[in-house]
Copies of this chain bind each other. A is one copy, B any other.
Amino acid sequence: MVKKITIAIDAMGGENAPEKTIEGVKLFLKNNKTHDDFIINLFGDKKRIEEKLKKENIDRTNLKITHTDSVVADDETPLTAIKNSKNTSMWNCISSQVNGDSDISLSAGNTGVLLVVSRMILKMMDDVSKPALAGLWPNNKNTNVVLDLGANIECDEDNFVDFAELGSALYKSLFPNENPKVSLLNIGSEEIKGTEILKKAFKKLTRLSNVNNFTFNGYIEGNEIMKGDSNVIVTDGFTGNIALKTAEGTAKFITDNLKKSLTKNLFTKISLVFSYFSLKKFKERLDPRKYNGAIFLGLNGPVVKSHGGTDSLGFYYSIDLCYKIVKGNLIKEIKKNLSHLKSDQE
């Protein structure tokens, strides 16, 4: 018997939990009716979870529930949360990975606490000095992995090399038939541009590009992130977070303005009738919910963070991401990459 993929879900994390998270689970089950290779373990208030499962008429064949007493509050700091967190849905969800009861954890709860608690419970992988938060971005050809998005404000060249390895492994696990192409985010594409740390990372990655599982494409600038020529974009957590949020803000600004333009008067409203399906496709392609789920990499088990404010569809996409990551053998891919890195350094 092949071992089933077990996804541990913090059912109580994020806004409107557990209702929203369970509706996400329902969508996932509906879209995966034909296969039977997974189990979803829901951590949280058993009574509330069961009520919602019943109400939604959800088949429980591939589900498990693990009762937990409390929830990490949204305004809690990592410090107080750790003291109070042993009985929380988040803590127990992640802990289930330690003895192999699950392969991946998913939570829409407090990000700061999730990062600290994950690191405490799962511990860092040997040969990785800082873990990173990776996100998925749409690009002209397919999807990018961008990291770090905020776990580490300051990084050195070895962190950048680790991020390249971790990000490539993630990309490979999600798109097994493609070759990861790594770029460093910088303010110019010439070798002389940027900080000293970036220049050192550039040299190291150029050397590793030959022995490793990725191609190093050099520097790219912010306007090239979505071009699709590179699919793993490496940066520090401060810059990555600013870039991600700026892109989100710009997208919102443009689509808000477009919406205003297209609903202004009768003529533009008529235009919507004719372009309805195309605009719907346009909206779907750029739907941020499709890219919901940041992956915490570098620990002895993968943890996925869903946006706290997403809806059931967004939560569904993050469950789907968990499934794909385990199916694609992320941890094995990471270890393969790190072993290359190690042999290069020896």
Could you list which residues of chain A lie within 8 angstroms of chain B, going by C-beta atoms? 138-140, 150, 153-154, 185, 187, 194-195, 221-227, 235, 237-239, 241-258, 261-262, 264-265, 267-268, 270-275, 277-279, 281-282, 285-286
Contact = CB atoms under 8 A, between A and B. Distances in A.
Contacts of A248: 222-223
Contacts of A140: 253, 256
A267 B274 contact: yes
Given A227-B249, A257-B286, A150 B187 contact: yes
Given A150-B187, A226-B252, A265-B278, 19 more contacts: A153-B187, A187-B242, A194-B238, A221-B242, A222-B244, A222-B245, A223-B245, A223-B246, A243-B243, A243-B246, A246-B247, A247-B249, A250-B251, A257-B285, A267-B277, A267-B278, A268-B275, A271-B272, A272-B275
Nearest to A245: B222
Contacts of A278: 261-262, 264-265, 267-268, 271
A256 B251 CA distance: 13
B226 A245 contact: no
Contact of A195 (B221, B238, B257): B238
A330 B332 CA distance: 59
Q: Chain copies in the assembly?
A: 2
A33 to B, nearest CB: 31
Given A238-B239, A268-B274, A194 B246 contact: no
Contact of A249 (B223, B253, B270): B223
26 contacts: A139-B253, A150-B187, A153-B187, A153-B194, A221-B242, A222-B241, A222-B249, A223-B246, A223-B252, A224-B245, A226-B249, A243-B246, A246-B247, A247-B247, A250-B254, A251-B254, A257-B286, A261-B278, A267-B277, A268-B274, A268-B275, A268-B278, A270-B274, A271-B274, A271-B275, A275-B275
Contacts of A226: 249-250, 252-253
A187 B275 contact: no
Contacts of A224: 245, 249
A81 B247 CA distance: 36
Contacts of A243: 222, 242-243, 246
Nearest to A285: B257
A53 to B, nearest CB: 35
A285 B282 CA distance: 21
Contact of A262 (B227, B245, B254, B275): B275
